[in-house]
Structure 1
Amino acid sequence: MTDTSNIREHMEVIGADGVHVGTIDGVEGDRIKLTKKDSGAEIEGAEGAHAGHHHYISTGLVAEVEGDQVRLSATAANVAGFIEEE
């Protein structure tokens, strides 16, 4: 498992394919909390399942932390199936 102690707020999360997944709002336990902006919750007129809450990704999906990026072991499309909502 990758050391996740270097993960910090405002880092970009990218899939194994290099596609943007989100921006980190913080780490809560073994989950990365993404900003609401990346869930569509702060987009004017946002509604539906993604409006008004954060999304979370398990730190178990982290492949590497380098510079200002957190690269995941799954592609962005596959990560969508692992995202938790609250």
Structure 2
Amino acid sequence: MISEDKIREHMEVRSADGSHVGTVDHMEGQSRIKLTRTDSDDGKHHLIPLEWVDHVDAHVHLSRSASDVRSNWETLN
């Protein structure tokens, strides 16, 4: 699994199919990434588990498709 210390604020998060799914706000604990709400279609924060991360370079790359990510992420009000 990817170490949370490789993930930084404002990194772009991309799905396995190359789509932009969000921008990192910050790590929520050691196991979830909180995405910015300003970059979200619904204006809400979303959380994705660190276990969905495939690898990190200049971006956070996920192992799931954009549609799978959006249908399974946790939404905060």
Gap regions ≥5 residues in structure 2: none
Letter in 1 for 2:50: T
SS in 2 for 1:71: strand
Counterpart contact for 1:4–1:65, Cα < 8 Å: no
2:36 is aligned to 35
- TM-score for both structures, normalised by structure 2: 0.88
1:5 Cα shift? Answer: 1.6
CA RMSD of aligned residues (A): 1.2
Q: What amino acid does structure 1 have at the position aligned with 2:47? A: Y
Q: Aligned residue pairs: how many?
A: 75
TM-score (norm 1): 0.79
Extract structure 1 runs of 4+ deviating beyond 4 A. Answer: none
CA distance in 1, matches of 2:63, 2:5: 17
Q: Which residue of 1 aligns with 2:45?
A: 54
Say which structure is richer in helix: 2
- Write 1 or 2 for the structure with the bigger share of strand: 2
Q: Which has the larger radius of gyration?
A: 1
Q: Where does the alignment leave 5 or more consecutive residues of structure 1 unmatched? A: 41-49
Query: Which position in structure 1 is the counterpart of 2:62?
Result: 72
The separation in 1 between residues aligned to 2:4 and 2:64, in whole angstroms, is 16
